[in-house]
Amino acid sequence: MIAAVVILLIAFGSLLAAGLPILVAVFGVGMALALVELMNRVLMIPDWAPQLVTMIGIGVGIDYALFIVTRYRGALAEGFEPEDAVVVAVTTAGRAVLFAGGTVVISLVGLCAMGLEYLYGTAAATVLGVLVVLVASMTLLPAVLGFAGHGIDRLRLPFVRGDRGEQGLWHRWSRVVQRRPLVTGTVALLALLAVAAPFGGLRFGYPDAGTGPEHLTSRRAYDLVASSFGVGANGPLVLAVDVEDDPAVVDRLSTAVADTEGVAAVLPARLNETGDTAALFVVPATGPQDRRTQDLIHRLRNDVVPEVAAASEADVYVGGANAAFVDESEFMAGRLPWFIGAVIALSFLLLLTVFRSVLVAVKAALMNLLAIGAAYGVMAVALQGGRLGGLLGIHEPTPVPAWTPMMMFALLFGLSMDYEVFLLSRIREEYLRTGDNASAVADGMARTGRVISAAAAIMVTVFGAFILGDQVLVKVIGLGLSTAVLLDATLVRMVLVPSTMELLGDRNWWLPGWLDR
């Protein structure tokens, strides 16, 4: 919150103008958390969901209010009276905010496509949080602006110039990009693809307690068990065997498993009271997050267990926490492309409706994918250890749960659309007024560049704070989110968007007649 106040002061140069987005965000998040608590009575909502609602609610709440306040101050600078300036702000920036919130909601609802119950509650809670701050931005904020009137700039800071939509740095930058659109666009595209390239090395799984800082008791317990019984004792596998028809299958299975590469020990079988089910505890030779442990699970399931079970027709299941993590990762990884495709398709239809342009909607979806892919690439590099991983406290190759990139995609795709919708709405507004595509792009960049940069800086600060956490997973999520927002607000919004729109010219706003009708 302190960082957000500082950034808003730099953007607006006024204490009152900087305080309004904070007020709206805090009020909206407070209402949202109260409603989430009520929702928790009827849905299964994870313990960490309120933290997610708070993070997203503060981020989008400040962003939405920031966009509307900026448009309001710009209207005042153009000579509008306060009431008329509120109308202008709500019917222009407010409309963009409404559709930006719609893309966030669509992305979060897509979590339900994963078919996991705890994600239903997570999606419902976060959607509710976004909707509440969206309503606050569209109702509470205009009312407060009505009270503020011309006094929005009364408490100005003399050493900060602020921004009232003047054409300065961002207008000149847009013209630089537009003069060499093919060169600048190609450079930005290649840079994003290069950063995204390591994404293929991202490994799904769960990081174990050995990745935590040494002051945590979980890390000390992990180290003590590893030094006394072997690292694999921190994540034993459990084989459940139906022995009702063939009690001797347990001995054959124990022998076969013990002879399998990667197995350190097989503990004596335990029978239940009726004697029809046995449990075998298998200690791998490698740690829970080691890729070789995952290979061992597949080897047992695909080769060892079927061979033993076939001889006696006994049912044998390979379980335990590690095996469950492998199953969940594979289940979610298989559904991830469908989830991404559904979110992109629905967002494309929404953007098509907003901008009445096929190419703008396609470009927006593709550019968001580039920024998110680049964030995944940075995550993959950090999870390999090395210099970047060492800065985060990751000193060995570490997996990441499959729900992490899925959750990040839902959040980032929606948040990226905030900037996309706000920028393109202003460009379209200028284009409809002048009919000049090049000037509309430059003017749209000039009037939104500073506010988008301020909004992105707030997001980068909020997400970047997670890098300071103790847990590796939290660090990596913070790194990925902050990287994606940073690249989205720089390479994508400030280079790729103006260069591609300059290359396409008036074709940016092409829409078939039948579709327009």
| For residues 66-88, average pLDDT | 88
Rounded to whole angstroms, how far apart are CA atoms 475 and 434? 47
Nearest-angstrom CA–CA distance, 159 and 278: 76
Alpha-carbon span 85 to 68, nearest angstrom: 10
The count of other CB atoms within 10 Å of the CB of residue 470 is 12
pLDDT of residue 240: 92
pLDDT mean over 399-415: 80
Residue 34: band (very low, low, confident or very high) from pLDDT cuts 50, 70, 90: very high
With 60 as the cut, is the pLDDT of residue 106 above it?
Answer: yes
pLDDT in tens, 270-308: 888 888 889 999 999 998 888 899 999 999 999 988 888
Residue 238's pLDDT is 94
Q: Measuring CA to CA, which residue among 425, 331, 406 is closest to residue 88?
A: 425
Q: Six-digit token pair at 81?
A: 């009276």
Higher pLDDT, 88 or 396: 88
Residue of 500, 406, 493 whose CA lies nearest to 455: 493
Q: What is the pLDDT of residue 227?
A: 92
Element (H, E) at 427: helix 403-434
**CB 130 within 8 Å of CB 108:** yes
Average pLDDT, the chain: 84
Q: Is the predicted pLDDT of residue 6 greater than 90, yes or no?
A: no
Looking at residue 260, its amino acid is T
| Predicted structure pTM score | 0.80
Q: What is the pLDDT of residue 335?
A: 80
* Mean pLDDT value of segment 174-188: 88
- Which pLDDT belongs to residue 164? 45
Q: In angstroms, what CA-CA distances link 323 with 6, 295, 383?
A: 47, 11, 21
Query: Using a CB cutoff of 8 Å and minimum separation of 24, what contacts does 45-54 make?
Result: 45/118, 45/121, 45/122, 45/124, 45/125, 46/118, 46/121, 46/122, 49/121, 49/122, 49/125, 49/126, 50/125, 52/122, 52/125, 52/126, 53/29, 53/125, 53/126, 53/128, 53/129, 54/29, 54/129
pLDDT category at 31 given cuts 50, 70, 90 is: very high
The C-alpha atoms of residue 37 and residue 26 are separated, in whole angstroms, by 17
Q: How large is the average pLDDT for residues 387-413?
A: 80
Q: What angle do CA 239, 287, 236 make, to 5 degrees?
A: 20
What number is the average pLDDT over the span 19-32?
Answer: 90
- pLDDT tier at 140 (50, 70, 90 boundaries)? very high
- The predicted structure's pLDDT at residue 165: 44
Q: What is the DSSP letter of 269?
A: P
Confidence of residue 135 (pLDDT cuts 50, 70, 90): very high
Contact 413, 347 (CB under 8 A): yes
> What confidence score (pLDDT) does residue 505 get?
84
As beta bridge partners, residue 238 has 281, 319
* Segment 198-229, tens digit of pLDDT: 988 888 888 888 877 788 898 899 999 999 99
Confidence check: pLDDT of 391 > 70: yes
pLDDT in tens, 413-471: 777 777 777 788 888 888 888 888 888 888 888 877 878 888 888 888 878 887 887 77
Query: In angstroms, rounded to a whole number, what is the distance separating the alpha carbons of residues 452 and 431?
Result: 20
CB neighbours of residue 331 within 10 Å: 14
pLDDT over threshold 90, residue 179:
no
Predicted local distance difference test score (pLDDT) of residue 166: 45
Q: Could you give the CA distance from residue 509 to residue 211 in angstroms, rounded to a whole number?
A: 51
Beta strands, E only, 106-172: none
Residues recorded for the chain: 517
